[in-house]
Every structure is written in structure tokens, then in C-alpha cells.
Copies of this chain bind each other. A is one copy, B any other.
Amino acid sequence: MSLDDSGYSGLVLEKLSLSKIQVGDTISITKDGEEFTGVLMPRSQVGSDAVHIIIKLDSGYNIGLRLNQESTIHRIKGGARKRTTKVEEFMEKKNLPRVSILSTGGTIASKVDYRTGAVNPALSAQDLYDTVPELRNYANVHAKVIMSVLSENILPADWTKIAHSVASEIKTGTDGVVIAHGTDTLGFTSAALSFALQNLPVPVVLVGSQRSSDRPSSDAAMNLIGAVNLATKADAAEVMVLMHAETGDSFLHAHRGTRVRKLHTSRRDAFQSVNEYPLFKINEVDVQELYPPIQRRNPERKIKLKPKFEEKVALVKTFPGIEGILVENLIDSEYRGIVIEGTGLGHTPDSLQQSIKKAIDAGIIVIMTSQCIFGRTDMNVYRSGVELLDIGVVSCEDMLPETALVKLMWVLANSKDSATAKDLLLTPLAGEIDMRSEEPDYIKGLGES
């Protein structure tokens, strides 16, 4: 692989060129009196600066070294590899906070394979860290791969697994947790963790990217650096989602885990808070609080883990002509909960009422959200709504349909009976619902800074 495609530029490219070094060569680097030996790795072109070089050590770890004018690089032809510093010693810096990065897969955990050109989704969290060596300026990173799944395939059982992993990291005393996750179902997982991880002492930040790190427009590096800074600096102890706030690379927004939704298939600022404003504005370094109240960081607080989810819950979006059989099939399949994504203030065609009544009579909890996405259900305004309330449908107020689905899965797994489950549904647990009837004009904020 020629240096042109290596991702290096500036000072590093100059020094590599001088010594006629290619990616894949074993090299020796001298810097500040220390010598490092390893195989030269390519860099992702985005998030790449002109001063870091990445080598793979004998241990298998990649490290990123910041070169200066005095640093020297030599090519070693089949020479013995020499390791002068233990990786662990090298990685830990005093006075820096500690962050745990858990990788679950998705675009942010993808990188181009420089031999084949294919996008490889199995990037480890360690690799992820290595492609962004700037991270070491902000935190000591403990990275772990907990699964490698495109997020469209994430299941409720995976939420449980992720929750366990986060709780384990928190118990080690980390200053914050970052979870790299595909964007497709990032909002579902962030809602799930918001309910599963109660009484958090530190922030849990989910982060994804809309463009893989091999693309010039990748948001991966900036989002990851932002997530590490948010997780370590924010005076918050909530589950949040961190993504680009606009199409450029100027700043990021942190959204509450229960109030965020992917609202564009491809834009970098696809994630938007719904019925609430973002909690933080972040550039690489600065973390600016926007809209309290926010649960505050408190390392003394003991996390409560409630990681179970009932999988027999379905989401049904209504449409003109929808037949009752679509609901009745769920009764036959022994579903325990149904989230209706109705129209307007929370309505369904009258033709669905009998089937919904049958479901409720069969012991299924049926709850109502709106396919409008923004706003609040209010089933007392029109006859259609009132009749559904009379049957026993629960109005989910200003909860997102996706959050309502996840919450219903959670309350069904964490309640001893149906009455308790319904009570919990309308009890705010993680900022997911606000029973006030007046509300600011959130739709205006969509896409705005």
C-alpha cells in the first residue's frame, strides 16, 4: 500500500517518505528518548491529524504516537522487534479521567480494510480507539467489544447484555461509559438502557456515526471524541445519545436517551430530541450544559440494575383500512403488550375498536402513541379517543412511540401485575414522559442550533 492511500499527511508523511517506508513495514520510532517498534498501520483519513503515527506492537495492540520535529523513524528490514514500554504503562496517564468504551458494532465500529477495500464492521473498540489517537489527550480508555452487530439486529436480549456490561464497568469506578452502536436502532437501545440502568453515578453515552470512518465525510472520529469528553466531563448521570448537531463539523448535541429519534436516513445530524431540547452542546473539548434539570454525577451513588425486557410486545402503526385481524393475530400469538401508533391526538379507525377490546379483555396491555412523532396524545378531545380510553387503552402523553414500546417491554418484565405495570407506564422514570399539558414549541428546534 503506497503512502498516498495511507491516510498520513504533514509531518508524519514527510518523515515516512524520507525513509521510504510503506504501510505494513516494521519500523522503529524514537521519540523523547524512548524507542517504539512495530508495524506501520494506515490511518483513517478523517479525524486524522498530521502528527500522529500508528503502529501495531508485538502484543497485538495498536498505539498512536505523537511525533515532533525531533522524532526519528527507521525502517527495520526483518529485524528483531523490540518493545521498550509496556502497553498498559504507555496508555495510562495520570491526571486524566477514565472512560470505558464498549463496542456493539455498527458504522462507528466499521473501517475500511486497507488490503481489500471492503468496509469491515468488526472493528474492535481498541481499534476504534487507535484510529483516533487524539482520545489519549482526554482520557485513559478501557475498551471492550461486547458484541459486533449491525443495530437493525439488536434484540431486547442484547439490551440486557449491554446493561450488564455497563454496570460492570461502572462498578470498576470508571468516570463515564461510552457505547459505540449502530444508528438504526440507537434510539431504542438508549431508551432501554435508560430504564435498565437506574440510579446512575456517571454518564452513559451512546454514540454512532452516519458515515463509516473510511469516508471523507465520516462523523465517527468527532462523535467519539465528543462522547469521551461528555462521558468524562459532564456533570450528569443519565443515559444520553451523542451525535452531530448539524451537517458540518462544528458541534454535537447530547440528547436524553428516552427523547431521541433518528429522523433522517443519512444526514450526520439525523438524531433529534423530540418534545424536549438537547441536554448538552459539545465540541471536541467543551461540554456546555443547555437544558437542565439533569440528574447530576455522583460517584457515591450505587447503580441499580433492572435489565429484563418482555419480548412479547408489538408496535402497530395504524393506517386507513387497517383490519382488526392485525391486532387479533397478536392475541393468538400470546403477546402481552401492544403499542398502537395511532393518528393525531391518539385515534384509531372505529373498525379497530372491537379487536382492541378483545386484546384488553385477554389481559394484554394496549397503549396509545401518535404517528405524528411530535406532540402529545390527548384522548379526551374527540369521541374516537374517549371510546378507546373507556375500553382501557392507556394514553402515553408525550412519550415517543419507540420509547413507549421499550418501556412497555420493561414494565411488563418488572411488574408483579397489570395494575402496577400501568402505573409504572405513566410514572416518569428517566425523563421519558411529562404529564404537563402545556409545552414549548419543540418542533421549531428540529434541525436548528
- Tell which of B184, B348, B447 touches A344, judged by Cβ atoms closer than 8 Å: B184
Task: Name the CB-closest residue of B to A343.
Answer: B184
In the complex, the answer to whether B446 meets A377 with C-beta atoms within 8 Å is no
Residues of B within 8 A of A409 (CB): 321
- List residues of A (347-402) whose CB comes within 8 Å of B's CBs: 347-351, 370, 372-378, 382-384, 402
Q: A446-B446, A446-B447 are known contacts. Are A441 and B267 too (CB-CB below 8 A)? A: yes
A262 within 8 A of B: yes
Q: A443-B447, A444-B447 are known contacts. Are A372 and B263 too (CB-CB below 8 A)? A: yes
Which stretch of A128-136, A147-155, A288-296 is in the interface?
Answer: A147-155
A249 within 8 A of B: no
Residues of B within 8 A of A445 (CB): 447
Task: Name the CB-closest residue of B to A383.
Answer: B150
In the complex, the answer to whether B267 meets A345 with C-beta atoms within 8 Å is no
In the complex, the answer to whether A317 meets B341 with C-beta atoms within 8 Å is yes
In the complex, the answer to whether A152 meets B348 with C-beta atoms within 8 Å is yes
A311 within 8 A of B: yes
Which stretch of A27-35, A38-46, A87-95, A325-333 is in the interface?
Answer: A325-333
* CA gap between A412 and B384 in the complex, in Å: 30
- Tell which of B151, B159, B343, B443 touches A185, judged by Cβ atoms closer than 8 Å: B343
A58 within 8 A of B: no
* CA gap between A318 and B444 in the complex, in Å: 28
Task: Name the CB-closest residue of B to A342.
Answer: B152
* CA gap between A350 and B151 in the complex, in Å: 11
In the complex, the answer to whether A264 meets B350 with C-beta atoms within 8 Å is no
Chain A interface (Cβ < 8 Å from any Cβ of B): 150-156, 159, 182-185, 188-189, 247, 262-267, 269-270, 311, 313-323, 325-326, 329-330, 333, 341-351, 370, 372-378, 382-384, 402, 405, 409, 441, 443-448
18 residue pairs A–B, Cβ–Cβ below 8 Å: A151-B344, A152-B343, A152-B349, A153-B351, A155-B321, A263-B372, A264-B443, A265-B346, A265-B375, A265-B376, A313-B321, A314-B326, A319-B402, A325-B329, A325-B333, A444-B448, A445-B447, A447-B447
